[in-house]
Amino acid sequence: SKTKDSVTLSWSSGRYQVRVWHFPFRLEVLCDQEVIVTFNSKDKLWFESLQNKPSYLSTLFLFFPGPSSLGADFCLHGFQHVYGLPQHADRLRLRDTSDGEPYRLYNLDVFAADLYCRLGLYGSVPLIVGHKPDRTVGVFWLNASDTFINIQYSPSDPQGGETPPVKKRRLRPQTDVHWLSESGVIDCMILLGPAPQQLFKQYAQLTGYQAMPPLFSLGYHQCRWNYNDEADVKAVDAGFDRHKIPYDVIWLDIEHTDGKRYFTWDPALFPKPAALQQHLEKKKRKMIVISDPHIKVDPDWPLYREARDGGHFVKDREGQIFQGTCWPGESSYLDFSCPETRAWYSRCYSFDKYKGSTPSLFVWNDMNEPSVFNGPEQTMPKDAVHHGGWEHRELHNLYGFYQHMATADGLTSRSGGSERPFVLTRSFFAGSQRLGAIWTGDNVATWEYLKISLPMVLTLNLTGIAFCGADVGGFVKDPDPELLVRWYQAGALLPFFRGHSANDTKRREPWLFGEEVTAAIRTAIHANMALWIIFTGIRFIICANLHKNVKHSLSCRPLWVEFPEEESAFTEDNQYMIGEALLACPVTEQGAQTVKVLLPGSDEIWYDISSAKAYKGGKSLSLPVNLDTFASILVFRRGTFLPVLLLNVQASADGELYLDDGHSFEYRDKKAFSLRRFSMASGRLLCRSASEEGRFDCDNVVQSVSIMGVKSKPTTVNVHVPGEDDPEMSTFNSYRKKFECFKGRFVSFTAHRIIIHDETKQITMSKPNKVPLF
C-alpha cells in the first residue's frame, strides 16, 4: 500500500510488513501490526564523502579513494537483552556502552587480553541477536572493515515527569544499536525469527552451516609450544598410553619448521616426519602442524621465490611487496583475497609439494589477523593494497577467513576431494563455520579466564560458529592442580577440546601432577568422548546437512535458547545446554564444595547424571562437588535420548543417533550414513530409521540401554526382534540374521534406572538402516 508519507510492503498474508517513511527516512519492520525493528530511528544513517587524509597513532594513511566511513542505527522494540558480536572477553549479554567505549570489531593479535573489555580480539562476526520471551530477532551488518557498535538499553521505567503517579505511563523497553564502519557499503539484514532456532537457521542460510568435521577432531587434542623433537613426541604419546588416558591428536608449533619456514621440517629435530605420523596413525592418532600466513623473506627458499614471482604477496601503498616483522623476522604476507593465490596456496598442501606430510597430518592457521609485530596495532597498515586494488582497510576482518578457506581447500584437494579436512583458525569472520574450528586465543591460567571462556564460546555458538573451544589450562602462566582439573572438566564439555601452553610455562601433561589429578583428568577426557563423539558433536552438525527442514542446532547453547520464556536464564553465563538434552554447569570457583544449578522449566524433570535422582524444574539446587565428582555437574533433561533414555512425566522420550565412517564425504555424496530415531512410549522402546536416504553399514553394537525415570521395578523385560510374523517388517526379513535377542542379557534396577546389558554384544546398531532394534 502507499500513502503520501510512506510505502508499505506485506507478506505472509499480511502478517509481516515493511513500512518505508519518506521524510525523515525510516524503515519499520512490523509483525501483526506491531513494530519490531526500526532502521534509522535516531537519524544516524551516514555515508562519508572525501575529506582530509587522516592519521592514526602518528601514522599517516594515504587512502587513495579518501575517507569513506558509514553507519546506521537500529531500534529493537521491546528488547532488553542483546547478544553476539564476537570476539570479546566479556559476558554473554552485551553491555550498555553509553558510559564507556563502544564494542569494536577489528581482528587483532591481543596477547592475554584484558577481561570484560570491548576491544576487538582475534575474530569478528557482525551479528547482534535480540531476545525477549516471545520473540528473537537479529541484525547482520555485513562489513569487514574496522567497525564500532554502540548499544543503549532503554528500560521500561514509568515516565511522566511531574505528573501525578496515576498519569504516568510505562514506556515500552527498547535497545538502540548504532553501527559505524570505516569503509565499505551499507549491507545489512534483519532476521525475524521469531523463535531462536528459526533465527539461527535464517542466519545459517545466509552464511553457511557448520562444516562436518572428521570424527577424530571431536576428541582430546594435546598441544604445546613446542614439543622439542621426534623423541619428545613419542614420549608424550607413550605417556598417554602408560597412564591409560585417551587422546586423538598431538600438535606441533612453529619450532617444528626449518627456521620458521612453513611447509618444512627442522632436519635435526624432525628428520623423519612421515615415519612419525605413521607411528601415531597405527594407534589411530593424528598430528597437526602450524602454518601462518607470513612467509620468511628468503630468496634462497623456493616457496618464497614462487610466491614472489607469482605475484601472491600483499603490496604496500607504493606498489612494492609489503614487508613486516613476525616469527621468522622480515616477512611478506600472502594475499588470500586473490583467488589465484588461494589456489596456489592450496596446492602447497599436496603430498608431492609438502614433503613429509601424510594423510594423517592436519593444519592450524595462527597469526592470521594478520599479526605484524612492527605494524600499527600490531597488524597490517590499512593502506596496504590487495588484489583488485582493494585497500586493506576494506577487508581487514576477512584476511584470516580467506587463509582458512585456502587451507581447508588444500587438505580436501590432496585427497581428491574424498576426505574431510580439519583446520583450526585463530582469526575468523561470518561464515568461518563452513571451514572448520576456532578457539578463543591466547588466554591466561587464572580462574577469571576459565570463567570468561564459557560466555565467549556461547557467543560464538550464537553467531553460527559451533565448533569452538578455549585452551585448557590457560596458554600463559602455570595453573595450580585444582585449576588445571577444573579447566579439563569445563573443556571436556565444549566441542573443541585442546590442552595448550606457551613455551615459557612448565610442562603440564596430565600425569605430572600426582595420581589424584591424573585420575580426575582421565575421567574428564572419557566424558568428552562420550558426549561429543557419540552424540552432540556429530548431531548438531549433521542436522543441517541431512534435514533441509530441520531447525539449525547449536552445540552449546545459552539456557534461554531452550527456554525462551525463562527470564532468569537471560543473563546466565556459567550454565548452558549441550544440545537439547544436557544442562552443564562447570565448576569455575576456586575451592568450590558445592555448585548452584538453575534448573529451568517448571514443567521439566531433570536427572543427576551420577545418581539418576530426579529433580523438578523451575528452581535452583546445590550439588556437592569435589575434585573427583566431575559427573555431578551434568544434568539430563527429561524426554530426551542420549544413549541413556530419560523419561518425562508421561514416561516417554525420543532422540536421534547418527553414524557414518567419520572421515570422508560419502555421507554427503553417497548418502553413506545411518540416522536412527529412538523413542519410548507405553513401556515400549523402538529404534527405527529417521532418514529414508541413509545407506551405511557398520559393525557398531548396542551394549546396554539405560532408562531413567522408571517409577517401579518391572516384573519382566522383553526384547522383540521383528521376524516373518511381523507384516510391517516383511521387507527386511533377509536381515533378520543380523539381530539376536538378549540371550545373554541381564537386567538390573537401581535408583529408578533400568539397565539392560547384552553380554553377547550381538545387537547391530545400523544394519540394516530401516530395521527396529526393539
**Distance of alpha carbon 550 from the chain centroid:** 19
CA–CA dist 73, 149 (Å, integer): 9
| C-alpha to C-alpha distance for 273 and 279, rounded to whole angstroms | 10
Hey, which residues does 472 pair with through a beta bridge? 499
Peptide bond into 768 cis (omega under 30): yes
Residue among 320, 260, 315 nearest 289 (CA): 260
Selected catalytic residue, list 109, 176, 230, 369: 369
CB 47 within 8 A of CB 40: no
Let me know if 442 is a catalytic residue: yes
> How far is it, in rounded angstroms, from Cα 396 to Cα 293?
14
Q: Are 608 and 622 in contact (CB under 8 A)?
A: no
User: Beta 644-646 vs 634-637: how paired, if at all?
Assistant: unpaired
Task: Give the separation between CA 371 and CA 379, rounded to whole angstroms.
Answer: 5
For 347, the 3-state DSSP assignment is helix
Select which of 73, 253, 366, 383 is catalytic: 366
Query: Do strands 594-599 and 619-624 pair parallel, antiparallel, or not at all (unpaired)?
Result: antiparallel
For residue 543, the one-letter residue type is C
**CA-based Rg of the chain, rounded to a whole angstrom?**
28
Per-residue cell: 514: 600426582
Tell me the β-bridge partners of 597: 621
* Catalytic position from the list 182, 442, 471, 758: 442
Q: Label the pairing between strands 644-646 and 640-641.
A: antiparallel
Chain-centre distance of CA 113, in angstroms? 20
Whose cell is 532502521? That residue is 39
With 0-12 / 13-18 / 19 or more C-beta atoms within 10 angstroms meaning exposed / middle / buried, residue 198 is middle
258 is catalytic: no
Torsion, Cα 546 549 554 560, to 10 degrees, reads -160
Active site residue 298: no
Helices (H), 243-301: 273-281
Asked if residues 290 and 253 have their Cβ atoms less than 8 Å apart, the reply is yes
Catalytic residue ranges: 366, 369, 442
